[in-house]
Structure 1
Amino acid sequence: MQFFSTRDYSRKVTSSEAIAQGLSGEGGLFVPETFPQVDAQELCTLDYPTMAASILGQYLTDYDPAFLLRAAEKTYGPAFGGKPDVLAPVSDSLYALELWHGPTCAFKDYALQLMPKLLVEAKRNLGRTEKTLILVATSGDTGKAALDGYHDIPGVEIAVFYPTGGTSEIQRLQMATQEGENVAVYAVRGNFDDAQTGVKRVFADKEIAARLAERNIRLSSANSINWGRLVPQIVYYFAAYGQLVRGGKIHFGDEVDFCVPTGNFGDILAGYYAKRMGLPVGRLVCASNKNNVLTDFLETGTYTAKREFYKTSSPSMDILVSSNLERLLCHVTGSDAEVASLMRQLSEQGSYTVRPETLAAIQESFACGWASEEEVAAEIRARYEQNGYLCDTHTAVAFHVAARQQRAGVPMVVLSTASPFKFPRSVLAALGQEAPENDFEAMQALEQATGRTAPASLAALRQKAERFNTVIDPAEIAQVALSYQQ
């Protein structure tokens, strides 16, 4: 299978090239030329690693299937505590797909524990021996997951950029204490969009690419703009559906809706790919926090990034420019020229409006809603008191929206994207408890209040030394990239 750029269909690459390169030269995102059709019923009977290898093999056709199976078995084993696909019942026809049992306690682990293996193999497939410099903009969870996955991988350097003051303290410490000789972390003045824009500008700068090439260095990305980040996330939609079938909750062919807390639109877009491949997905419900740019777009067809930015208790969703929406627009419009024009309008004017027929086509698969800070807190408390289910702030956004979008007789699966112990002060306060200023004291208080145990990897942060404390302006991201040597 080949992949082409959302902004220029003539730019075609293999899956290995798409993963190694990350972003197309003119700024477009790589998408597959078709949606492979699978025997979804058969796939849903497989164990998680075998299912992952099969689904990845549909897209990564220049990879050896035996390699994909070995990589999946190695990835989704002990690192996930033997629980790569926990589907927890919450109430009647409402479930939480717990995607935070990996090493960094966030759903990003599903892709970023596998993606380094895919990158190394891509370079082998292509006969490349250059150093790969990975630049990552993060709103909180991607940074740590990427650092954990790529640290000390031969032939790879990784630099992560996060908005200063824009993550929880636990998220910040996860990055600032990261071990490894090939890792670097920078706080960026501004918000996530400032960091993401700075990284994208580096990728689009041909002079930077040429100067790095002289040193035998090539750029790549671990953000969800990279196809290697997106494709592993398709798998857990099949896994969740399969669990419902095997548990007797549905018959194969019944629709299941998924509600996804959404920032950069990658996690929910993976569900769209699953649906287009043949999984009986009903509606994909896009749940936003107070930064509800996606909700407005899905309701009106106008995307407006020039708006007030809010720092919320769900920082990984504090995003105004949702990169992966570009991929959806590509699939729905079928026009590279149209997508290129919309993205140019977004860059130059801060907004764009799609055609009515484009919006109608999107609304066939997507519903939406958003939650205020007060509603997020109320949802955390309600789920705990009414259902005994403890969730983090991002998952609470999705629970709130799911309650308003759930259809009678149709199961709703909420993607639970992070451990509640990554945001202990917010969760504790939502439960009506006094929240200590120190996150680790709050973590202990949350354990005492709920009888739950914080993940060991988070509790251990208290004893780890901080390695990275540099603060830069977005414009300095280019200087960071140019500082690397072979």
Structure 2
Amino acid sequence: MRYLSTRDEKISVSPSEAIIMGLAPDGGLFVPDDLDEIRVDYKKMIKKSYKGMAREIFAKFFPDLIIEIPDIVNKSYDNKFISKEITPLKGNDDIFFLEVFHGPTCAFKDVALSALPNLMKSAAKKIGFKDKILILTATSGDTGSAAMKGFSDVSGTGVIVFYPREGISDIQKLQMITQEAGNVRACAIRDNFDAAQRGVKKILSEEKNIACGISLSSANSINIGRLVPQIVYYFSAYKQLVEMGKIKIGTKISFTVPTGNFGNIMAGWFAREMGLPIGRLICASNKNNVLTDFLLSGLYDRKREFYKTSSPSMDILVSSNLERLLYFTAGSQKTSEYMRELETKGEYRINMEELEKIKQIFYGCYAEDDEARYAIRDSFYSNNYLLDTHTAVAYAGYKKMLDEAKEPRIPNVILATASPFKFPKAVLTAIYDKKEGSFNGEEGAFTPYNKKENKLTDEDCVKYLSRLTMIEPPSQLSGVFTKKIKNDDLIDKNEMKDYIRKKLQDVMGDEYE
């Protein structure tokens, strides 16, 4: 198997090279050259354990690492997730939730970023790559802490994360700026995630080596090594539905995915291409619904107002992984043209034939903050299931889609992408009802309808949320408030490259001279 750039098929590299490079030299994303090579017998696949499925899927996408893959999988998933299923399925006969947030930082990014460091180390050894690797990552909230945790103290690597100053939760920020490992660092920029992502991609495409003996790569889902591990839990969801007796083998199911950068749902597309019976992939957006509009009209227009919402990891106007879908829909030449138009004009429009091809698989829906807030409350009081703000967008969007859809309903799995305790104030506000006398008149009780709300910290809200719901918060979240802040840097977006050079000694340590 070879990996090609989405913008120029003449750029061809091995799987290991694609993992190490992260981004193609022309700014494109790497994709496998032959989808026939990744197809599997899903009936045999779902008889395997989670780790067994991971071994087979990794081997399909990274055949040059086939000898190393068993060790990679063991190192990636042994003793890192609190659930024996890794990604357990919850729900009832109507709606199911695939909980992909039981890793070290309580977000779905952990599933992939527990594997990527091991994939990178093996890939580097395979191709005789001698440089040390500096990982550059832009995050809208969760990728940063997961990347920093995954690469903590991994020899020969360092991580620098850029995140928007405003728009992420206090806990998300604390998870990054309290990381203890010496080879990781996070820095805020005075702009939004899209600016951070553009800056990182620009640096990655322009700077092959940031310094002598140090090469750059990425931990975002633009890196195929980050994306492939996410395919596994789509198979795991199907396996669990069969084992629970909710579906028979061969039944088509759909997935609803809260989506920002289009990576998580693109992993579902690859699972479908591998042979998993997926009928529909439902892309759920928040008020920044550029993807919903695109899936309806074929026009991708980032020239719109940017909204800060209660689901900050989805506050994105440029969804990088959509480029992979464009490549498989329209080819490299047109994808390159579309990306050039997006950069120069801020928009592009695909033709109707291409749009109809995409619509055969994808459906777009969205929910604003008020709808997500109601969804959290409805799910908790109706089904005793607590949603985070991103999963709530998917839940609300899916229910609206059911009202509008004309096609027959099939079993649906919503990807629950983060612990609700990562966004405690928003979730607490959604489920609290002063008419019910919550906390029984206790002094200082949380009242989201008065000025006290603005005085409460995330730490306060975690405690109140736990008491109201009688759910114990994950220790890795409740413990973050007492950790020492390592750094709290803030820069302008045009200072990112200078910041990287200034922090090389700090991040790379003895690896950098």
Residue equivalent to 1:156: 157
Cα distance, 1:432 vs. partner?
2.3
CA deviation map 1:116-175 (0-9, x unaligned): 000011110011121101100000000000000001111111100000012000000000
1:451 aligns with 2:479: no
Residue identity matched to 2:492: D
Partner of residue 239 from structure 2, selected from 216, 239, 242: 242
Answer yes or no: is the 8 Å Cα contact 1:93–1:410 preserved in 2: no
- 1:321 is paired with a residue whose SS is coil
Structure-to-structure mapping, 1:68-147, within 5 angstroms: 68-81=69-82, 82-89=84-91, 91-147=92-148
Contact 2:23–2:218 (CA<8 Å) still a contact in 1? yes
Match of 2:380? 384
Distance 2:94 2:56 in 1: 29
Q: Where does residue 329 of structure 2 map in the other structure?
A: 332
TM-score (norm 2): 0.92
One-letter amino acid of the structure 1 residue matched with residue 45 of structure 2: L
Find the partner of 1:232 among 220, 226, 229: 229
Identity, % of aligned pairs?
47
Q: Deviations over 1:437-486 (max 9, x none)?
A: 20001000000000001000001011101111110111111112333252
Secondary structure, in 3 states, of the residue corresponding to 2:415? Answer: strand
Rounded Cα–Cα distance in structure 2 between residues aligned with 1:473 and 1:233: 32
The amino acid of 1:429's aligned partner reads T
**1:187-198 maps to which residues of 2 (within 5 A)?**
187-198=188-199
CA distance in 2, matches of 1:22, 1:275: 23
Query: Does residue 264 of the first structure (1) align with residue 261 of the second (2)?
Result: yes
**Post-superposition offset of 1:249:** 1.1
What pairs up with 1:17-416 in 2 under 5 angstroms? Answer: 17-35=17-35, 36-65=38-67, 67-81=68-82, 82-89=84-91, 91-205=92-206, 208-209=207-208, 212-213=210-211, 215-333=212-330, 335-406=331-402, 408-416=408-416
Post-superposition Cα deviations, 1:161-196, rounded to whole Å, max 9, x if no partner, equal 000012000000000101111111100110000100
Q: Give 1:432's aligned residue.
A: 432
Q: 1:408 offset after TM fit, Å?
A: 4.5
Say yes or no: does 1:442 pair with 2:466. no
CA distance in 2 between counterparts of 1:457 and 1:243 reads 27
1:479 aligned residue: 498
Using the alignment, how far apart are the partners of 2:311 and 2:99 within structure 1? Answer: 17
Q: Which runs of 4+ in 1 moved over 6 A?
A: none
For residue 409 of structure 1, report the CA deviation from its aligned partner: 4.8
**Match for 1:114: what amino acid?**
A
Structure 2: distance between partners of 1:403 and 1:239? 24
What is the match of residue 13 of structure 2?
13
Query: Which residue does 1:467 correspond to in 2?
Result: 486
Alpha-carbon shift at residue 405 of structure 1 (Å): 3.0
Matching residue of 1:417: 417
Against the structure 1 CA distance between its residues 101 and 184, is the aligned structure 2 distance closer, same or farther, given a 3 Å change threshold?
A: same
2:336 alignment partner, SS class: helix
Partners of 1:217 and 1:68 lie apart in 2 by 25
What is the TM-score when the length of structure 1 is the normalising length? 0.97
DSSP-derived class of the 1:132 partner: strand
Letter in 1 for 2:340: R
Unaligned runs of 5+ in 2: 434-446, 506-511
Cα contact 1:48–1:76 (8 A) shared by 2: no
Number of aligned residue pairs: give it: 479
2:438 is aligned to: none
What is the RMSD of the two structures over their aligned residues, measured on CA atoms? Answer: 1.2
- 2:96 aligned counterpart, secondary structure: strand
CA shift at 1:72, angstroms? 1.5
Whole-angstrom CA distance in 2 between matches of 1:74 and 1:222:
18
> Do the aligned partners of 1:6 and 1:336 also contact (CA within 8 Å) in 2?
yes
Gap regions ≥5 residues in structure 1: none
Structure 1 contact 3–15 (Cα < 8 Å) conserved:
yes
The range that moved more, 137-146 or 240-249, is 240-249
Q: What whole-Å deviation, never above 9, does each CA across 1:277-334 have from its counterpart, x for those lacking one?
A: 100001000000000000000000000001000000000000000000000000111x
CA contact (8 A) 1:57 1:63 kept: yes
Equivalent-residue separation in structure 1 for 2:243 and 2:319 (angstroms): 35
CA distance in 2, matches of 1:331, 1:480: 36
